[in-house]
Amino acid sequence: MNRLHLHFHSPSLGRPLRVEILCPPGRGPFRVVYLLHGLGTDLEIWRAYDVEPLAAARRLMVVMPDGDNSYYVNDRRPGGLGAWEDAIVRDVRGTVDRMFRTVPLREGRGVAGISMGGFGAMMLALRHPRLFGACACLSGSLYFGHAPHPRGEAWQDALARGLPKGDYDVFELARRLAEGGGVRPAVWMACGTGDGHFDDHRRLSALLDRWGWSHVFEQGTGTHDTDFWREHLPLAFDFLASTLSAGGRSDRSERDGGPTLE
């Protein structure tokens, strides 16, 4: 695998953004997985998870952007965190598709993450189902935008309250998509039964079942920790590799421009 480091200006954020990319050898076209880190870390955390052999064995390009503590949302409050959703789906995705021979279709593009990044992966896939064909959510912070922080973290609740109601609530986003009849991303989730986020995953899985939304929910013993994530990250990559393809059709909105909100 080729490892590349990008440091480019993000128009959405108005400042530089770091991205690390693992690219298989050869000419492609490559299926791409956007991998989102958790709260309090940055893209360097992925070195602890041996992502390179996971990507190489499945011949996936992996794009790992910095996401600050943004929950990957557009925080447009005065003095807020900035337009991180736009930075990922417009700036990073656009740069990757211009620089590399990718599969520029939803069928060849997935998003995955852990904890805050797990929420980000689920949220971005549900908000942009014509851009992402699959998502993998490991121990995602699915409460965000839906319910108060389980431990009463005031700044996270303030961030969520400053967002348009329902627009970043994955339960509401999934309902809108299911009832609207639009294209649905393939969904994979994993959460430990001892994790404080487990009930949210179980509730979302039950709702997806009710709506006839085929998905995978991996339940295992464990808590919100690196042992669980190291064990289940290979399963997430297996799912993405088996779901994403180099075929399919596209439209102008997927190739030419920014978010395609449903």
CA dist 111 to 131, 161, 248, Å? 10, 25, 18
Cβ-contact 171, 140 below 8 angstroms: no
- Per residue in 177-195, pLDDT (tens digit) is 999 988 999 999 999 999 9
Residue 8's pLDDT is: 93
Nearest Cα neighbor of 106 from 97, 118, 95 is 97
Residue 254's pLDDT is: 40
In a domain, 59, yes or no: yes
Whichever domain contains 134, its CATH number is 3.40.50.1820
In a domain, 193, yes or no: yes
* pTM greater than 0.75 (yes/no): yes
| Residue ranges, the chain, pLDDT below 70 | 247-262
Q: 121 is in which domain, residue-wise?
A: 2-242
In a domain, 123, yes or no: yes
How far is it, in rounded angstroms, from Cα 108 to Cα 33? 9
In a domain, 260, yes or no: no
In a domain, 53, yes or no: yes
In a domain, 214, yes or no: yes
Cβ-contact 88, 124 below 8 angstroms: yes
Domain count, the chain: 1
What's the chain's average pLDDT? 92
How far is it, in rounded angstroms, from Cα 19 to Cα 4? 8
In a domain, 56, yes or no: yes
How far is it, in rounded angstroms, from Cα 66 to Cα 36? 8
- Per residue in 209-248, pLDDT (tens digit) is 999 999 999 998 999 999 999 999 999 999 999 999 976 4
